[in-house]
Chain A
Amino acid sequence: MNIDYSPEELEFQQEVRAWFKENLPEDLKQKNMRGEMLTREEIISWQKLLGSAGYLVVSWPPEHGGPDWNATQRYIFDAERAAAGAPVGFSMGIIMLGPVLMAFGSPEQKEKYLPKIESAEDWWCQGYSEPGAGSDLASLKTQAVLDGDDYVINGTKIWTTYGHYANRCFCLVRTDNECKPQAGISFILIDDMSAPGIEIQPIVSIDGEHHLNQVFFDNVRVPKENLVGQEGQGWTIAKYLLTHERTTIAGVADSKLNLANIKRIAAENEVDGKALIDDEQTRLDIAQAEINLMQLEFTNFRTLADTAAGRAPGPESSLLKIKGTDTQQELSELKVKMAGYYAFPWHTEGFVGPEDFAYATQTYNFLRASTIYGGSTEVQKNVVAKMLLGLR
């Protein structure tokens, strides 16, 4: 048993650290550290810079342009990315669509789509949820009907993150109404989000920002070669992604940076004649958050060691997601409590109080979504109860 990185891994860590130090633009770093939302252009140019260094599709195998890193290296990379203050970027194409195409896509699809994900030319959004199909995804109703050489799509998708930034969309659609709901779902690619019949309506969330959208499809024609896999295979494909290795799902690296930031803020900000850290409740709240994070990091290490030893992580990822998002919410709430009255001014009004607190409320509000998206905490618990505990 040992807890240390190998000399090779330490060397890798230094290499990655140096790259971020050299290449991360200072203004992007400051914006990200404050919790401010980045513009489409800022994200794209950062992703392109990562891509030019071979640091974008880090989870992909070398035959598709990945760097051939193991799980530990990918973890180290993400830890260094977070410690440097660099944003996660937008990764639906990289972490979701890429693996799907590699496993289920035709050679033509791979050739057409993968290189443009790798070069950050394409921005993919995900069309899964519908107004009537949230946690119960299998009840989705958006129809794709074959008409000649095209599928004709009708229906609506909701909570489409960055749908207004994306130029392409991968969707789950219904191609069969007669069979069991899961068996009638197909996975289809929409090449152009500005195609006739597609309407994107913004949804402003409780952080006051526009990340989310509702997308309407009115007789949208998509060539039949855009179907991934077979008709009816959509559910299998969606589930495949659930068990795909996710060593960074817990968000440990970002939470660690966040905690360090909170400790600094608590030492630098004075309230009622003393530093925040000298307020006993704040001091203990921070200690508890740090302990929770310690646990999360070590559980993450255990999964990482398992992955490195060739044991496939399965529903354990659900536990990391549950605890990881708990910690993210806990830290954001702590910052709001520390801000006191300075949590009140809305971020659109400029810096009313200390800059450190300007986006505290916005982040706290936004992170309520973390236990809802990507399978809500309740759905994750259903999965663990069934798959790991055999309760049914």
Chain B
Amino acid sequence: MDFSYSDEQKLIKEQVEKFVQNDYSFETRNKILEMDEGFDRSVWQQFAELGWLGVPFSEEDGGFGGGAIETSLVMEAFGNGMVLEPYLSTIVLSGNALAFAGSSEQKAELLAGIIGGELLMSVAYAEAKSGYNLANVGTSATKAGDAYTVSGEKVVVLGGASADKLIVSARTSGGNSDEDGISLFVVDAKAAGVEVRGYKTMDGGRAANISFNDAPAELLGEEGKGFAVLDRVIDYGIVAASAQALGEMNSSFQKTLAYMKTREQFGKAIGSFQVIQHRMVDMFTHVESSRSMLIMSSMKVASSDAVERKKAVSGAKVYIGDAARAVAQDAVQLHGGIGMTEELDIGHYFRRLTLFCGIFGSKGYHLRRFADQG
């Protein structure tokens, strides 16, 4: 048993942490938030040049040879500074979908494209009435000759408005919530029949509702067997989002702790009051306990045993979600009035962490998914 990082892992962790600390201040982030796309393409190019866009992928796929553990190191450091660039949607979700199910041609074109920073992609899976159920797919795909077209609407596609290509779940057979009969497709976002309506999300990020009207589509993986791929991709997404949340939680905690030592009321630092001290210990415990769950899930998400994988990931999502909510709320509460303001970073961490609680499934959804595994 060994939870220490290898030299290579340490290197990437330190590199990204240093970048966030030196080049991604809260002021810089605020400027990027105001940009049209809600992120900075020149920063994205920098990530590509540094090799960070290839972290989760094998060397034969042109990547860094890492996995969920290495991705978590990058994401946690991104969380420290609430980095806005679309790493989760393009690299973790789309990249893993291509790595798991792509043909060698698709990998050579698309995976290489995103690793190189030339191509942005998103996975479009949620629908107006699907809730968190990945198998509830109303979007349909039709085959005519060798070609497919898809029709339907996907909602809250993270990074969807900036994506060049979309990975879309659509039904090729079966009933509305059957796991069998779901297929994944690559659709060009500029193709005829694709309509994208982008908007801001609560954390200042971007998402889109996208409708498909007989849009030309290219099959990704086996027809009818897309659910298992998507389910696994989302599990990797949960681990990565949890890592980012951990960075955000830890930053909220550290900033709150520092403030408790300097903010004075009744003639002394408020951190000298026991009621504050115990809440700070609770916050610290949430962060450290979440770190345990993150390490556990980042190791087990790669398990070939689906029950073990789902229990690890859903268990972590339930636990870290609860902790994120508690840390976010307490950070605002303990800061008092100033914690309510747009100008302080604490409120921005709060929004990010609130979004995390609902991403890829609520607490109730994952508690049930965990219980379903027996």
A385 and B1 contact, Cβ closer than 8 Å, known pairs A284-B367, A294-B315: no
Instruction: Return B66 CB to nearest CB of chain A, in Å.
Output: 12
Question: Within 8 Å CB of B260, what residues of A?
Answer: 391
> Contacts A291-B315, A322-B285, A381-B277; is A284 near B368 (CB within 8 Å)?
yes
Is A299 within 8 A of B319, CB to CB?
no
In Å, the complex CA distance between A319 and B276 comes to 17
Q: Enumerate B245-294 residues with CB–CB distance to A below 8 Å.
A: 257, 260-261, 271-272, 274, 276-278, 280-282, 284-285, 288-289, 291-293
Contact of A389 among B280, B315, B367 (CB under 8 A): B280
Query: With an 8 A cutoff between CB atoms, is B48 at the interface?
Result: no
Cα A287 to Cα B9 in complex, Å, equals 33
Contacts A294-B293, A295-B293 given; does A3 touch B278 at CB 8 Å: no
Which of A1, A287, A291, A319 is the one whose CB lies under 8 Å from B5?
A: A1
Q: A249-287: which have CB < 8 Å to B?
A: 283-284, 286-287
Number of A-B contacts (CB under 8 A): 104
Residue-wise, chain B 292-325 has the 8 Å CB interface mask toward A (1 for contact) of: 1101100110000000000000010011000000
Would you call A298 and B292 a contact (CB within 8 A)?
yes
Q: A291 with B370: in contact, given A5-B1, A308-B1, A309-B4 (CB under 8 Å)? A: yes
A287 touching B288 by the CB < 8 A rule?
Answer: no
Interface presence of A92 (CB below 8 A): no
Across the interface, do B367 and A288 meet the contact criterion of CB distance under 8 Å?
yes
Is A292 touching B319 in the complex (CB atoms < 8 A)?
yes
Contacts of A302 in B (CB 8 A): 3, 291-292, 295
Question: Known contacts being A299-B289, A302-B292, A391-B260, is A1 close to B3, with CB within 8 Å?
Answer: yes
- Nearest chain A CB to B5's CB is how many angstroms away? 7
- A385 engages B285 (CB within 8 Å): no
- Cβ contacts under 8 Å, B257 to chain A: 389, 391
Chain A residues with CB under 8 A of B296: 3, 294, 298
B315 touches A391 (CB 8 A): no
- Is the CB–CB distance between A384 and B1 below 8 Å? no
Judge if B2 is at the interface, Cβ distance under 8 Å: yes
Residues on B with beta carbons closer than 8 Å to the beta carbon of A5 = 1
B147 located at the interface, meaning its Cβ lies under 8 Å from any Cβ of chain A in the complex: no
The closest CB in chain A to the CB of B272 belongs to A392
The minimal Cβ–Cβ distance linking A81 to chain B, given in whole angstroms, is 19
List the A residue with the shortest CB-CB distance to B271.
Answer: A391
How far, in angstroms, from A384 to B286 measured CA to CA in the complex?
13
A72-B1, A288-B318 given. 19 additional CB < 8 A pairs?
A: A1-B5, A3-B299, A284-B371, A286-B371, A287-B368, A290-B315, A291-B367, A294-B296, A294-B315, A295-B289, A295-B293, A295-B319, A299-B289, A309-B4, A381-B277, A385-B278, A390-B261, A391-B272, A391-B277
Interface residues of B (CB under 8 A from A): 1-6, 9, 69, 257, 260-261, 271-272, 274, 276-278, 280-282, 284-285, 288-289, 291-293, 295-296, 299-300, 315, 318-319, 367-368, 370-371
The 6 A-B residue pairs whose C-beta atoms are closest, nearest first, are: A385-B277, A287-B371, A298-B292, A299-B292, A291-B315, A391-B271
Return 29 A-B CB contacts under 8 Å, by A number: A1-B3, A1-B69, A2-B299, A72-B1, A284-B368, A287-B367, A287-B368, A290-B370, A294-B293, A294-B296, A295-B289, A295-B293, A298-B292, A298-B293, A298-B296, A299-B292, A302-B295, A305-B1, A305-B4, A323-B285, A384-B281, A385-B274, A385-B278, A386-B277, A388-B284, A389-B280, A389-B281, A391-B272, A392-B271
